[in-house]
Amino acid sequence: MAHAPQTIEQDEADTRDASADERIVETSFLQRLISRPELGAAGGALVVWIFFAVLAGDQGFLSLRGTATYLEVSAELGILAIAVALLMIGGEFDLSVGSIIGASGMMTTILAVEYGWPLSAVLIAVLVFAVLVGSFNGYLVLRTGLPSFIITLASLFIFRGATIGVTRLITGRTQVGGLSEAAGYDWAYTLFASDVTVWGVGFPVSILWWLGLAALAAWALQRTPFGNWIYGVGGDAEAARNTGVPVRTVKLTLFILTAIAASLVGVIQAVSFSGADVLRGELREFFAIIVVVIGGTLLTGGYGTVIGAVFGALIFGMVRQGIVFTGVDADWFQVFLGGMLLVAVLVNNWVRRQAMQNR
Q: By the 8 A CB rule, do 355 and 35 touch? A: yes
Instruction: Name the pLDDT band for 344 (thresholds 50, 70, 90).
Output: confident
CA distance 67 to 204: 11
Q: What is the mean pLDDT of residues 339-353?
A: 71
- For domain 32-357, the CATH class is mainly alpha
CA distance 14 to 11: 5
CA distance 152 to 142: 12
How far, in Å, are 52, 92, 195, 202 from residue 67 at the CA level? Answer: 12, 33, 14, 10
Segment 248-304, tens digit of pLDDT: 999 999 999 999 999 999 999 999 999 999 999 988 999 999 899 988 888 888 888
**208 pLDDT more than 60:** yes
CA distance 352 to 296: 9
Residue 242 has, within 13 A of its CA and on its CB side, a CA count of 4
> Which has more pLDDT, 335 or 163?
163
Candidates 146, 161, 36; CA nearest to 93 is: 146
What is residue 354's predicted lDDT score, i.e. its pLDDT? Answer: 62
Give the lowest-confidence range in 123-132, 215-224, 279-288, 343-352. Answer: 343-352
What is residue 353's predicted lDDT score, i.e. its pLDDT? Answer: 66
CA distance 308 to 125: 32
Intra-chain end-to-end CA distance of the chain, in Å: 43
Q: By the 8 A CB rule, do 319 and 59 touch? A: no
**Helix (H/G/I), strand (E/B), else coil: 302:** coil
Instruction: Name the pLDDT band for 23 (thresholds 50, 70, 90).
Output: very low
Q: What is the mean pLDDT of residues 310-323?
A: 91
**16 pLDDT more than 60:** no
| Cα 341 from chain centroid (whole Å) | 15
Give the lowest-confidence range in 13-22, 27-36, 274-283. Answer: 13-22
Residue ranges per structural domain of the chain: 32-357
Contacts of 326 by beta carbon, 8 Å cutoff, 6+ apart: 52, 55, 56, 59
Q: What is the mean pLDDT of residues 144-155?
A: 94
Across the chain, mean pLDDT equals: 86
**33 pLDDT more than 60:** no
CB-count exposure of residue 115 (10 Å: 0-12, 13-18, 19+): exposed
Percentage of residues in the chain with pLDDT exceeding 70? 86
Q: What is the mean pLDDT of residues 160-187?
A: 92
